[in-house]
Amino acid sequence: MKHRCDSFIETSKDEMIEEIINLIGFPSITGREAENRDCLKYFLDLAQSMGFATMATKAYDVGIVEMGETDAETIGILVHLDVVDVGDPEKWSEDPFKGYVKDGHIYGRGSEDDKGAAVMSLYAMKAVKDAGEALSIPLKKKVQLIVGTSEEGFWTDMEHYLQEFKPPDYGFSPDGSFPIYNGENGYADVELLFSGDATKGLRRLNSGSSRNSVPSKAELEWEGGEVLVAHGVAAHSSTPEEGDNAIIKLAENPGTKDLDFALFAKEILAGEGFGAKLGISGTAVPTVLRLLPGGVSMNINIRQTSGVEEEDIDLAFESLAEKYCYSFQIPEYMDAAYVDENLPFIKTMDSIHEEYGVAQGIKQAAGTTYAKAIKNFVSWGPLFEDETSTAHMEDERLSVDSMILATKLYAGFLRRTLF
């Protein structure tokens, strides 16, 4: 027999779509504090209207939605409302911040990553809350939906949250794919400065709008007026094989052969292996390219496997610095993460997959999510294994059918844990 939580989710489909579209309407690009605060306020007001208690950090960069017993064991759900920039505006079918439904999908920046999941999590909580009240079943534990606004940038929001609030005992971040990902590769950004390229006649150089996205367009202009443009396909930098890097394509253009940055990109980062020539296990992807007064700046996004440490990355780039005439720094670094798959909450998640006929399993993720921010958190959904992620791409979208099924899985996990 269908559980009343599932019935609630199905009848709430249109409301969920509407709220995701409303959130897409906020251009909450990471780093834009005002837009992110506005988006967070809208979300917390929505949660309050649904009967939940809410609070926020002093900086108003993290919101919290709670239900259940105050001092009980706490389940956490960790989502974010900030988004990456739009990439190449010309490659969007519609305004990236004007959400709409077409062919069974919700389109718009943030639909998949991660505003859709924020709404799914809220409605999963509402389904369980209403079911508990209707059946007079007290909730045995507390649920805390943690809503960040800087996941796509530096995680200062999580620093504030952990300073001001006690973290949950365990939980998940719905910011990837099913099944359960109890391990994630590490993360690092390496900023290279090719100072010699400042004197080689460049007037303009631009590619990439996000440190963790494969850029779909790169433009170079010489002082003489000649312009070179390379087009690629955007993708999340943790899955570079799904895109076509415009920086690499620009570097392979014969017109850039005398530039140090292009030589490095062509010889070290291009081809199979996505940076394997650096000798770092994982991927290394150029994501942002800029002309600065002191030379050409290139950001390399690293997704290192377990066992690779910051010192290894530093040594790899140091070994090539003299040959390719660059200096470098590592402004952000996170180790790979792992959560014991035998923990009871992971077993419960896995059993929910079986209940709903979804493929089970526990895997290692190539990317990085907020799951790294809190101990005993895993990445769980909301995409399914047969779906292609459009996060960080133009025409980002979320399947409505997947939205409904993922929300049922989240509600199922909560009711199994709380009732």
Same domain, 258 and 310: yes
CATH number, domain containing residue 370: 3.40.630.10
pLDDT score at 406 = 98
Is-contact 53 123, C-beta < 8 A?
no
**Alpha-carbon distances of 181 from 208, 344, 374, rounded to whole Å:** 28, 15, 15
pLDDT score at 337 = 93
Same domain, 27 and 85: yes
pTM reported for the whole predicted model: 0.92
Same domain, 175 and 212: no
Paired tokens of 286: 């150029």
What does the alpha-carbon distance between residue 148 and residue 341 come to, in Å, rounded to a whole number?
26
pLDDT score at 366 = 87
pLDDT score at 282 = 94
**Alpha-carbon distances of 382 from 74, 148, 164, 399, 410, rounded to whole Å:** 21, 17, 28, 10, 9
Nearest to 331 by CA among 307, 302, 308: 302
Same domain, 153 and 13: yes
For 64-87, the pLDDT digits (tens) are 999 998 788 999 999 999 999 999
Is-contact 122 9, C-beta < 8 A?
no
If one counts every other C-beta atom within 10 angstroms of the C-beta of residue 312, the result is: 15
Q: How confident is the model at residue 304 (pLDDT cuts 50, 70, 90)?
A: very high
Examine the fold and report which residue of 308, 334, 360 is the final residue of a domain before the chain moves on. 334
Alpha helices by DSSP H, listed for 135-185, are 156-164
Paired tokens of 269: 């980062």
Examine the fold and report which residue of 288, 309, 334 is the final residue of a domain before the chain moves on. 334
| Average pLDDT for 354-380 | 94
pLDDT score at 69 = 81
pLDDT score at 272 = 82
pLDDT score at 3 = 87
Examine the fold and report which residue of 304, 319, 334 is the final residue of a domain before the chain moves on. 334
Same domain, 163 and 29: yes
pLDDT score at 1 = 55
Provide the residue range defining the domain that includes 31.
Answer: 4-185+337-418
In single-letter form, the type of residue at position 294 comes to G
Question: E-strand spans in 141-216?
Answer: 142-148, 170-173, 176-177, 180-184, 187-194, 202-207, 213-214
Q: Is the predicted pLDDT of residue 142 greater than 80, yes or no? A: yes
| Average pLDDT for 359-384 | 94
Provide the number of structural domains found in the chain: 2
Q: How confident is the model at residue 2 (pLDDT cuts 50, 70, 90)?
A: confident
For 244-295, the pLDDT digits (tens) are 999 999 999 999 999 999 999 999 999 888 988 999 999 999 999 999 999 9
Same domain, 148 and 21: yes
Supply the mean pLDDT for the chain: 96
| Average pLDDT for 28-43 | 98
